Amino acid sequence: MTPTNRPKQRTARRSDVGFLPDPSPGGARGYDAAHRTTAVALRTIGEDDDNIVEEEDNPAVANLRQDHLLLASMTSYQASNPYNLAWRHVFWNHPYPFGVKGTSRSRIIDWDEKSIFVETVKRNYAYIGSRAPQVGPYEKYTLTAAIRGGVHGKCWFDFFLRTGAPSVLKTYDFLDAVINGPGGIGEGGDDNTHTFICDHRSVHHNPLIVMVINNKRHRHLFRAPYYHCDGPIEYFFNHVQQLLALELHNIQTGQQLEQAIGGICQRAAGFSDNYFAHCGYAP
């Protein structure tokens, strides 16, 4: 593969990593080396050589495949670079404001947003091995959720039809409800100070989001970049996804999806403390 037809390399934000990836082909951080490593790993899953040849014969499919390989390999690499390894070590082994050491999971709240797509189809037109030819309305929803660990673990969530890019004001309103709304945690201080942890999405860096947390004497802390395994909320979303898959046969409309999500989140909320314990947060 020559440099002229190599897929465009993903640009890392400085908020995500300590340095930009080296674009030199064949280098330690070059695309070619990462692409070969990831391709070998994926082929061990069970793909045969015939399928790979067929995909390479189709330039559009081959380029799409390479883009996915590049993204996966760069994510794996960035998780292992010294900057992010050091960040993760500090997060787990130092107290606030650098990490969570000495903080009980009953005083930690992890929050994030998850996109959920729904595509309604006339299922009587679908057959095994073929797609349904008649596709109905296509809608995209956002599930914003926050969970707290401990014996009295809790879950807050908001599910709404997404009409554009994630809004900072929507996130602000959600966190304000978590703190000040009915069933909220209230103002921090003494034994009620909570630490809000999150990933590095741009909306989480917005000063308005930091303000709504700090103004009520709570803490705001970022997890190490590229380590989703350190986020209890990721396991919550995975659990919601699994439960939603079991309910899909009863969901035909967006309204039915909203009703199903409400019940699913309530069921998954009962495992809030388990998600934190699985990640390794202290009791």
Span 202-211, average pLDDT: 94
Spans of all domains in the chain: 13-80, 96-279
For residue 108 the two structure tokens come to: 């930690």
* Mean predicted confidence (pLDDT) in 243-260: 86
Residue 75, pLDDT score: 72
* pLDDT tens profile 36-71: 332 222 222 333 333 333 344 555 555 555 655 555
Q: Other C-beta atoms within 10 Å of 155: how many? A: 18
In whole angstroms, give the CA distance from residue 47 to residue 92: 38
pTM of this structure = 0.70
How confident is the model over 166-194, as a mean pLDDT? Answer: 92
Check pLDDT > 60 for residue 35: no
* 156, two tokens: 């807050």
Query: 182 vs 166, which has greater pLDDT?
Result: 182
24 vs 218, more confident: 218
Q: Which of 52-66, 137-151, 223-237, 250-264 bottoms out in mean pLDDT, i.e. has the lowest?
A: 52-66
Q: What's the pLDDT at 42?
A: 29
Cα(207)–Cα(230) distance, rounded to whole angstroms?
A: 24
Question: Average pLDDT, whole number, for the chain?
Answer: 75
**Integer Cα distance of 69 and 183 in angstroms:** 44
Quote the radius of gyration of the chain (alpha carbons, Å).
Answer: 22
pLDDT digits 0-9 by tens, 9-26: 444 443 333 333 333 333
The predicted-structure confidence for 118-157, as pLDDT tens digits, reads as follows 654 444 444 444 444 444 445 788 999 999 999 889 999 9
Residues forming beta bridges with residue 160, ordered by sequence position: 142
127: number of Cβ within 10 Å? 9
pLDDT at 91: 97
pLDDT exceeds 90 at position 111: yes
pLDDT score for 257:
87
Give the confidence band of 76 by pLDDT, cuts at 50, 70, 90. confident
Report domain 96-279's class: alpha beta
At 32, the pLDDT band (50, 70, 90 cuts) reads: very low
